[in-house]
Amino acid sequence: MAYHDHGRPAQHRLVSDDAHASSHSTPGNASPASSSSHDDASAVPSYLHSSITGLAAGFGGLVRRFSDMTGVHNPHPIPSRTYSGPAPPAALQGNGVSGVFTPPMNYNRSPSPLRPPPLEPLELRGFREDTTGSARLLTPAVAEEIRTLIPERQRLEDAWNLVYSLDQDGASLGTLYQKSSCYEGQRASFVLVVKDNEGGLFGAYLSDPPKPQPHYFGNGECFLWRASLLAALPPPPSEDTTNYNAARVTTIVSPTRISRTASPAPSSIGPSIRFKAFPYSGENEFYIYCEQHYLSVGAGDGHYGLWLNDSLEKGISARCLTFGNEPLSDEGIKFGILGVELWLIGNGGGVR
């Protein structure tokens, strides 16, 4: 049945009539073309729907992952260590336990009352009664200077014992080795003292007893040293010298150059000494090397820090890498030997 719609345009009326006609047609009367078009129309939206759904799900997963990174949820949370009790008093706040330590502005340090006792004066043992003063190389004043540089455990020793003396035991390096061999394997350290022909005094601290070995030995506690006496200047002409007892010192001179007629310094002041030490530099490990024909302390680049021959008549001292020292003798790199001593710090003992 036809009807007329005067309110719509003609083309809309035709489309409406065709749709109305197709709605009354039976499936059996549908043409193949119209059936195929219906299947394609229904299939395309389904495929697009699946693709869009998958993309939306993937994008949602990324969003959730980035959201989890900003706020991670731990199924087993660690208990908080934050202090939840009552607030500590103001005196305890900022003490390093209840908060960051804040030192007070008026914090005054005071020396600890638990100071170690002062060291006892050194006693040098081993000289014979007939040994003259000029033949005694090591003096208490020089020994005290060396004492300040040796390891702490050795500073507590208040007695040094003479192991070898050229004046008392003869000029022989073999004798020196023999007398120090009884301390092998013990925690014993030694001080080697050498006096050259000009009266210069120098030597070395040895962490081990000197003995012939096919390799270097010792450790970084070893060092070289030298000591020089300072000459006293005469008083100025304008000063009254009637009761002059003060000692004035100046440049370094050898003890043999000091005039024997000069007035000695008062015993309460003691001799004026310039002491220099050359500790281990870390450049190499050439601490001590001993053979039957020589003894050496420190080496490097073909030079020895201190070298003595087997007859203890000649020696060598040059700048070496082990200690970075200057030549120890004022005579030069080569010097003549006037005396040699080897001192044991303490009584030895103890197994290394």
Average pLDDT in the chain? 75
The answer, yes or no, to whether residue 331 has pLDDT greater than 80, is yes
Q: Which one-letter DSSP state was computed for residue 301?
A: T
Percent of the chain with pLDDT over 90: 47
The answer, yes or no, to whether residue 301 has pLDDT greater than 80, is yes
pTM of this structure: 0.60
Identify the pLDDT of residue 50.
63
Identify the pLDDT of residue 30.
40
For residue 313, count other CB atoms closer than 10 A to its CB.
12
Confidence label for 187 from pLDDT (cuts 50, 70 and 90): confident
Q: How far apart are CA 106 and CA 269, in angstroms?
A: 42
The answer, yes or no, to whether residue 40 has pLDDT greater than 50, is no
Nearest alpha carbon to residue 281 among 302, 300, 306: 300
Average pLDDT over residues 58-64: 66
- Mean pLDDT: which of 47-61, 104-118, 168-182 is highest? 168-182
Q: If DSSP codes are grouped into helix, strand and coil, which group holds residue 3?
A: coil
H/E segment holding residue 250: strand 249-252
At 2, the amino acid letter reads: A
Contact 177, 236 (CB under 8 A): no
Identify the pLDDT of residue 207.
95
Give pLDDT tens digits for 310-324.
999 999 999 999 999
Q: How far apart are CA 156 and CA 115, in angstroms?
A: 14
Identify the pLDDT of residue 341.
97
What does the angle CA 16 – CA 21 – CA 27 come to, to the nearest 5 degrees? 135
Which region among 5-19, 178-192, 215-229 has the lowest average model confidence (pLDDT)?
A: 5-19
Identify the pLDDT of residue 117.
74
R_g of the chain computed on alpha carbons: 49
Contact 271, 249 (CB under 8 A): no
Most distant pair of Cα atoms in the chain: their distance: 160
Give pLDDT tens digits for 217-236.
999 999 999 998 776 556 56
- Cα 313 vs. chain centroid, distance in angstroms? 40
Q: How far apart are CA 5 and CA 16, in angstroms?
A: 10
Q: How far apart are CA 332 and CA 186, in angstroms?
A: 36
Distinct helix (H) and strand (E) counts, the chain: 6, 12
Identify the pLDDT of residue 327.
96
